[in-house]
């Protein structure tokens, strides 16, 4: 019989299925689908509940993956993806060399990869120049079925999340530049949904050195039909992809405007507009022209403006100086700030000139419409001084509902607090430190940021350090941290992705352990540990320890007195290293991990794994003992169960020893839905398991992956 909701005792042994689920398969959690998690790109992760100010000091190295090229951005995260090796939590990264990588989020193992390399593309089309590259990051479709990544062929590509199969229909891949040697896919891909339609945003700027014929543009791709709109920050009256001069269409005489900020396009649901900032290039909007260098402007969510211009714009009064001195306003993007008591919609814009500008997204210049100069609400210096080339992060302190802004640059990191007095908002510095770094992130009220050879966690209200690691992270450029489901990730310039997680203690199922009959020993199991770990039980001497696999440990505790007992796993250096909780079990049933192995897959009717699809209201028996290295004497299995392609809503229940299914369903689903769940299968009365399809019509495909057994 399968049990998926409660511990079950059978044949004298106890399973705690939830702990097995933690250990053997990916943990259900939240997804992180684009840079900073949402279309606003606030840099505030309010979904995180595992890492917190009280335990972040226990962060410990988990793994480090070596990538085929530098990933100069931030990963995105998708949980419970069906892959060829079972259901996995996946990280997706884009590399400078044009790879899209899917990595196991708990080990860093590459699940699949694709690449559109530079080929013959050289920067600015110069002989002997370096190869073209990208600093973009991927985005995951809200349907959770596809991931998008920029390739060095000047196109955005669409891949299936589970196996990397590229979608080549419906307009894909989508061209986003016709001159990739001059225009770089700079910012992370991002998306927003407006009026029921989702748009993917791709921005382009130039390569370092400000050479070549590029205008800076955003491409908005309608994900429902593959159509796209282009808005050029120079020659905005031409909504096309320009070609290299001489040629047509082109923007003759107006070059080197760029949209290259770290979060690219920002969507605001209140105004239902997208916003972006430009750096360099001509500005003549105040003279009725169509060039928008060193400006913030807004567009409709589909990427269109009005009459060949943006919907609205903000341009500093000193735009000519910003252009002539290369102090790009668009070195960062607008950061939206919650502002109770303010009648508008507040954002802050920084830039290479080391200034902070408060602007109203409902009226960017305060003068109504595009083409006006100045009009910011507040203009102050960056507290630590220096140019800002990173994303800004906004946070609302749950303790007092105050709004904060955080920014990091080559001079350090600072925190500012927003106040609104008499309806007028203003920012005031609260603290700053001198450790240089890049784009900060707040997750569950902890402030993270990375710099040269370090990653730190700070108290956002004081700047006090809560945790730091200086041993694993390489040099930093535009990489920024990402937190998802209790794990901190950071890429670096050494082609690494490094992960940190909490050193969790293994504890018994019950609150206390009493003396066991006859002084018998208690066996515990846990996974996710580094080889070479040692085990201690409270203050007692180390018990026997054996590694079942490279990162799985089984330990036997000596007899102990009544009272609470905890188990910590430590590496030889003393830092806590486990990635997941463990559990206890009794009466001689030992657990053995297996490399995830598929034992049932009804999608292949001619194959050996149990096709065809399950029909409504029917039972099917599968022999699992003896498969995938499971011994015939196994008492039970830990498996991951997946249903896919159901033609109607229903449920599947796995059970044993009876023609009638138990009252607890293994998995329910809607028509067309793919779902997965973990289950413990009892094999104590034989090696066969029955699957029952409890729906009134149609069929469903069933997949079972085994990842361990009890004996």
Contact of 452 with 436, CB cutoff 8 Å: yes
Question: What's the pLDDT band for 588 if we cut at 50, 70, 90?
Answer: very low
Q: Measured in Å, how far apart are the chain's first and last C-alpha atoms? A: 16
Rounded to whole angstroms, the Cα distance separating 429 from 140 reads 36
Residues 6+ apart with CB under 8 A from 585: 13, 14, 15, 16, 523, 525, 591, 710
Question: What's the pLDDT band for 518 if we cut at 50, 70, 90?
Answer: very low
Residue among 278, 290, 176, 310 at smallest CA distance from 237: 290
DSSP state of 167: P
Inform me whether the pLDDT recorded for 358 exceeds 80: yes
Residues 6+ apart with CB under 8 A from 698: 616, 646, 647, 648, 650, 671
Residues 6+ apart with CB under 8 A from 160: 145, 146, 166, 167
Q: Which two tokens stand for residue 632?
A: 């015939």
**Residue 103: per-residue pLDDT:** 96
Q: Which ranges of 175-235 would DSSP assign to H, the alpha helix?
A: none
Q: What percent of the chain has pLDDT over 70?
A: 80
Residue 329 phi/psi, 5-degree rounding, is -65, -35
Tens of pLDDT, residue by residue over 591-626, are 566 777 888 888 876 666 777 888 888 888 888 777
**Residue 229: per-residue pLDDT:** 98
Tens of pLDDT, residue by residue over 622-636, are 887 777 888 877 777
Rounded to whole angstroms, the Cα distance separating 376 from 357 reads 6
Question: What's the pLDDT band for 246 if we cut at 50, 70, 90?
Answer: confident
Instruction: State mean pLDDT over 582-594.
Output: 46
**Residue 8: per-residue pLDDT:** 23
Rounded to whole angstroms, the Cα distance separating 346 from 340 reads 10
**Residue 617: per-residue pLDDT:** 83
Inform me whether the pLDDT recorded for 525 exceeds 80: no
**Residue 343: per-residue pLDDT:** 95
Tens of pLDDT, residue by residue over 262-276, are 999 999 999 999 999
**Residue 429: per-residue pLDDT:** 98
**Residue 697: per-residue pLDDT:** 83
Map residue 591 onto helix, strand or coil.
strand
Rounded to whole angstroms, the Cα distance separating 124 from 210 reads 10
Rounded to whole angstroms, the Cα distance separating 214 from 281 reads 10
What residues pair up with 600 in beta bridges, in sequence order? 704
**Residue 637: per-residue pLDDT:** 77
Contact of 503 with 488, CB cutoff 8 Å: no
**Residue 534: per-residue pLDDT:** 47
DSSP state of 125: G
**Residue 97: per-residue pLDDT:** 98
CA distances in angstroms from 485 to 79, 106, 211, 287, listed in the order given: 10, 11, 42, 51
Question: What's the pLDDT band for 102 if we cut at 50, 70, 90?
Answer: very high
Residues 6+ apart with CB under 8 A from 567: 505, 506, 507, 524, 526, 535, 536, 537, 555, 557, 582
Tens of pLDDT, residue by residue over 229-241, are 999 999 999 999 9
Tens of pLDDT, residue by residue over 673-707, are 888 776 767 676 566 777 888 777 888 988 888 87
Inform me whether the pLDDT recorded for 565 exceeds 50: no
Residues 6+ apart with CB under 8 A from 13: 585, 586, 587, 588, 589, 635, 636, 710
């Amino acid at each position: 019989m399968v049990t998926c909701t409660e511990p079950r005792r059978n044949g004298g042994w106890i399973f705690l299925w939830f702990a097995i689920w933690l250990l053997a398969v990916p943990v259900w959690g939240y997804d992180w689908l684009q840079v900073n998690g949402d279309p606003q790109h606030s840099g505030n992760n309010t979904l995180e509940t595992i890492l917190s100010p009280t335990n972040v000091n226990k962060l410990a190295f988990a793994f480090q993956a070596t990538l085929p090229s530098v990933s100069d951005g931030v990963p995105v995260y998708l949980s419970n993806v069906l892959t060829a090796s079972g259901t996995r939590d996946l990280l997706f990264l884009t590399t400078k060399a044009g790879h899209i990588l899917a990595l196991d989020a708990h080990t860093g193992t590459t699940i699949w990869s694709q690449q559109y390399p530079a080929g013959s593309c050289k920067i600015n089309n110069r002989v002997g120049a370096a190869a073209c590259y990208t600093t973009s990051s991927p985005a995951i479709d809200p349907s959770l079925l596809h991931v998008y990544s920029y390739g060095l062929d000047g196109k955005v590509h669409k891949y299936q999340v589970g196996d990397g199969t590229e979608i080549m229909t419906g307009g894909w891949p989508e061209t986003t530049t016709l001159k990739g040697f001059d225009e770089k896919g700079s910012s992370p891909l991002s998306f927003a949904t407006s009026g029921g339609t989702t748009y993917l945003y791709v921005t382009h700027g130039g390569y370092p050195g400000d050479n070549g014929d590029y205008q800076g543009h955003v491409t908005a791709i309608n994900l429902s039909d593959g159509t796209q709109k282009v808005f050029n920050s120079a020659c905005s009256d031409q909504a096309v992809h320009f070609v290299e001069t001489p040629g047509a269409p082109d923007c003759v005489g107006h070059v080197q405007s760029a949209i290259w900020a770290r979060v690219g396009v920002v969507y605001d649901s209140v105004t239902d507009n997208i916003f972006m900032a430009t750096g360099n290039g001509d500005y003549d909007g105040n003279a009725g022209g169509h060039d928008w260098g060193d400006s913030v402007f807004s567009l409709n969510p589909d990427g269109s403006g009005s009459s060949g211009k943006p919907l609205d714009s903000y341009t500093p009064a000193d735009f000519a100086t910003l252009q002539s001195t290369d102090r790009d306003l668009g070195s960062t993007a607008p950061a939206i700030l919650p502002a109770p008591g303010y009648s508008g919609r507040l954002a802050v814009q920084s830039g290479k000139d080391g200034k902070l500008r408060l602007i109203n997204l409902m009226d960017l210049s305060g003068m109504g419409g595009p083409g006006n100069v100045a009009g910011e609400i507040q203009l102050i210096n960056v507290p630590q001084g220096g140019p800002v080339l990173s994303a800004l992060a906004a946070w609302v302190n749950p303790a007092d509902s105050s709004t904060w802004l955080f920014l990091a640059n080559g001079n350090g990191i600072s925190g500012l607090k927003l106040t609104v007095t008499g309806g007028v908002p203003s920012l005031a510095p609260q603290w700053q430190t001198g450790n240089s770094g890049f784009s900060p992130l707040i997750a569950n009220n902890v402030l993270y940021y990375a710099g040269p050879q370090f990653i730190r966690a700070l108290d956002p209200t004081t700047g006090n350090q809560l945790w730091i690691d200086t041993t694993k992270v390489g040099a930093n450029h535009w990489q920024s941290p990402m937190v998802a489901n209790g794990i901190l990730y950071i890429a670096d310039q050494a082609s690494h992705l490094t992960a940190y997680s909490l050193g969790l203690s293994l504890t018994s199922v019950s609150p206390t352990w009493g003396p066991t009959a006859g002084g018998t020993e208690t066996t515990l199991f846990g996974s996710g540990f580094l080889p070479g770990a040692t085990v201690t039980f409270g203050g007692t001497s180390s018990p026997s320890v054996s590694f079942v696999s490279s990162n799985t440990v089984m330990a036997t505790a000596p007899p102990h007195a009544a009272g609470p007992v905890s188990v910590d796993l430590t590496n030889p250096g003393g830092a806590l290293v486990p990635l997941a909780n463990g559990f206890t079990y009794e009466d001689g049933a030992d657990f053995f991990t297996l490399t995830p192995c598929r034992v049932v897959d009804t999608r292949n009717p001619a194959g050996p794994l149990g096709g065809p699809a399950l029909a409504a209201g029917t039972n099917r028996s599968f022999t699992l003992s003896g498969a995938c290295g499971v011994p015939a004497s196994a008492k039970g299995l830990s498996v991951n169960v997946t249903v896919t392609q159901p033609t109607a809503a229903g449920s599947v229940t796995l059970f044993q020893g009876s023609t009638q299914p138990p009252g607890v369903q293994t998995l329910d689903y809607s028509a067309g839905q793919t779902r997965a769940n973990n289950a413990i299968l009892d094999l104590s009365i034989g090696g066969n398991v029955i699957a029952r399809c409890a729906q009134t019509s149609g069929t469903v495909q069933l997949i079972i992956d085994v990842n361990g057994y009890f004996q």
